[in-house]
Structure 1
Amino acid sequence: MCVVAVPNDRIAEKVIYLLIYHPLLIMFGWSYMRTIFQPTGQVPRKFYLTKQDSDRLEREADEEVQRSILINFAKDLPIQNRTTIGLPRYCEKCKCIKPDRCHHCSVCGYCVLKMDHHCPWVNSCVSFTSYKFFVLFLGYALIYCLYVAATTLKYFIQFWTGGSDKGMGKFHILFLFFVAIMFGISLISLFGYHLYLTFHNRSTLESFRAPVFQTGADKDGFSLGTYSNFMEVFGDNKLKWFLPVFTSKGDGVFFPTKTAPALSYQTMGNTPSFGDGVTYPTRTIDLDSDGLLGDRQRWMEEGDTAGEGPSAVSNSSVQLVSYLED
């Protein structure tokens, strides 16, 4: 009987590969599943107008009365974001005042707390409740791809240099190596971008459209410093930072800011501006409408399903909105 001896170093190599591979696979799959199945954060009931108030708002033709209804309803709510004229952000579809960093998703069909974007990879919104899982998913996916590429590199080189048989099975190595490299390259930029957003305490939507405060639009309004920003997403327990368990700080409704909360809903036409990074940041271009219910804001967030989008918006803006929602 012929017995083929397997070198001990090859056995040790395979054992090491397997011991590293399976934990990576488990963490990758775990974070991906949590991102998919984590319930999306939705607006608490106290932000929804009563049927009486919503019916009155829809029937009312006087814009000043509409303003008064919204301001009176929102005066006790913990909100700092608003439209560019200082009014509470109102969603006509959900009939609610939007909490800070909340946006309406046209795919999900409701307002989502701290909405980052609607992700086709997970078929759900990446939001306050799932953002940590999404970042971990990107990170573990990147490490997984790099590991697969690194462990197949030697066999890939042997295939091209003639150091091994060129049977059909070797094409599996080629396919695996190229797929791992291609996905790894795309994940490097995506994971790096979301690390940047995490360290600056921004969402994808806020990076394109700065949130508006009493002092004006400020893309860094929620930034508390790099470490504090990271802690807000990943929590205080360092042992759980890299585990797909929910440890994010807060309730998804109220977020601390670098400046004191505004005390009233005054218009912003006379707000002083002294440049970025100071108490009164420079007012930048914002896509929210100066109209009462924010027609342009609703169109940008919800999509122009009825063909009623503003004619002045360029094709590049339409492509940008499509990217943010998809």
Structure 2
Amino acid sequence: MCVSLLVAYLTIFHVIFVFFIWTYWKSVFTPPQQPDKKFQMSYADKERYENEDRPEGQQQILVEMARKLPVYTRTGNGAIRFCDRCQLIKPDRCHHCSVCAMCVLKMDHHCPWVNNCIGFSNYKFFLLFLAYSLLYCMYIAATVFKYFIKFWTAELTNSRSKFHILFLLFVAIMFFVSLLFLFGYHCWLVSQNRSTLEAFSAPVFQNGPDKNGFNLGLVKNLQQVFGEERRLWLLPVVSSQGDGHFFPMRTWSEARNPLLANEEQWEEEGPEEDTHGCHLGSSLIVEMET
């Protein structure tokens, strides 16, 4: 093999490797973003809430708190989404992670492979990590394949190199197939502007559950995650739109806060259960508590 080709192989390999490590680092060490303090219950409201024995009275306290907040989604029975553990009203698309023991903005799932909760603050980094991992495995498999052919045609005589080539190709293809399913699934989620949790349980609006409630069309959905500057899409830098507390909805028929309407129809609500998810393609695990 000529030297120029070897240099090209090594250059491409290290470029992909740097982005692979960079995105993995950002996925692991970017902390999940929590709701702003304005969503938390004040000391006075907390005392009123704890001293109130009637469920309808507690709901009324939450209604008063929600009047000033940009919350448009509810629980399945129409009540305000409130976290008893964190003592706050949940922003839209926010869920409590039982592993991290906190509410996470636009929570997607908790991933043990990066030992972190994937949400608004690091979802872009997680997607790029999957993309560069997929590219990394594909590049290794492609560059090793011709030596694998030589292995079968008996052009390679060194038994050690035969084993190394066979093992490397097998591992690269195995991870490539697994990552392909996982990355493809998340690409579909981004195109529909859904999180993993919303794919399993549609968000509830004033008119009921709507799995496409945040679907704004392919281009705007991509901009929600990657931002408007396309030159930043492939870089693991912060470029997502918004602050994670409010998200544009597909229809603006709910132009005003739906929590102010039909208060008498709200029923008693128990604390929303912890949500904890993990998924890794067809051969990986999905764990969720909803």
Provide the TM-score with structure 1 as the length reference: 0.81
Is 2:287 the partner of 1:323?
A: yes
Q: What does residue range 36-51 of structure 1 map to in structure 2 within 5 Å?
A: 36-51=28-43
- Structure 1: which 5+ runs fail to align? 1-8, 271-289, 304-320
How many angstroms apart in 1 are the aligned matches of 2:55 and 2:247?
A: 30
SS in 2 for 1:301: coil
How many angstroms apart in 2 are the aligned matches of 1:249 and 1:136?
A: 17
SS in 2 for 1:190: helix
Is 2:60 the partner of 1:68?
A: yes
* Per-residue CA distance 1:109-163 (angstroms, 9 max, x = gap): 0000000000111111100010000000000100110000000001111112211
What residue is the counterpart of 1:294 in the other structure?
Answer: 270
How many angstroms apart in 1 are the aligned matches of 2:211 and 2:98?
A: 23
What residue is the counterpart of 2:213 in the other structure?
Answer: 221
State the identity %.
49
How many angstroms apart in 2 are the aligned matches of 1:42 and 1:26?
A: 29
SS in 1 for 2:110: strand
What residue is the counterpart of 1:170 in the other structure?
Answer: 162
What residue is the counterpart of 1:263 in the other structure?
Answer: 257
Match of 1:239 among 215, 227, 231: 231
Is 2:152 the partner of 1:160?
A: yes
One-letter code aligned to 1:301:
T
| Number of residue-to-residue matches in the alignment | 279
One-letter code aligned to 1:29:
I
Is 2:125 the partner of 1:125?
A: no
- Structure 2: which 5+ runs fail to align? 278-284
Match of 1:196 among 162, 185, 188: 188
1 or 2 for the larger relative contact order (CA 8 Å, sep ≥6)? 2
SS in 1 for 2:14: helix
How many angstroms apart in 2 are the aligned matches of 1:108 and 1:84?
A: 24
How many angstroms apart in 1 are the aligned matches of 2:264 and 2:133?
A: 47
| Cα displacement (A) at 1:11 | 2.1
What residue is the counterpart of 2:281 in the other structure?
Answer: none
How many angstroms apart in 2 are the aligned matches of 1:71 and 1:19?
A: 59
SS in 2 for 1:104: strand
Q: 1:171 to 1:268 in 2, by over 3 A?
A: farther
Indicate the RMSD between aligned Cα atoms, in angstroms: 2.1
One-letter code aligned to 1:292:
E
Q: 1:220 to 1:267 in 2, by over 3 A?
A: same
How many angstroms apart in 2 are the aligned matches of 1:24 and 1:322?
A: 28
| Cα displacement (A) at 1:13 | 2.5
The answer to whether the 8 A contact 2:276-2:288 is kept is: no
Q: 1:169 to 1:75 in 2, by over 3 A?
A: same
| Cα displacement (A) at 1:10 | 3.1
What residue is the counterpart of 1:32 in the other structure?
Answer: 24
One-letter code aligned to 2:287:
Y
- In our comparison, the structure showing a higher alpha carbon Rg is 1
| Cα displacement (A) at 1:202 | 0.3
The answer to whether the 8 A contact 2:77-2:269 is kept is: no
| Cα displacement (A) at 1:291 | 5.5
* Per-residue CA distance 1:212-271 (angstroms, 9 max, x = gap): 11111011100100010001100111111100101000000010001113434345999x
Greater displacement, 82-91 / 248-257: 82-91
SS in 1 for 2:190: helix
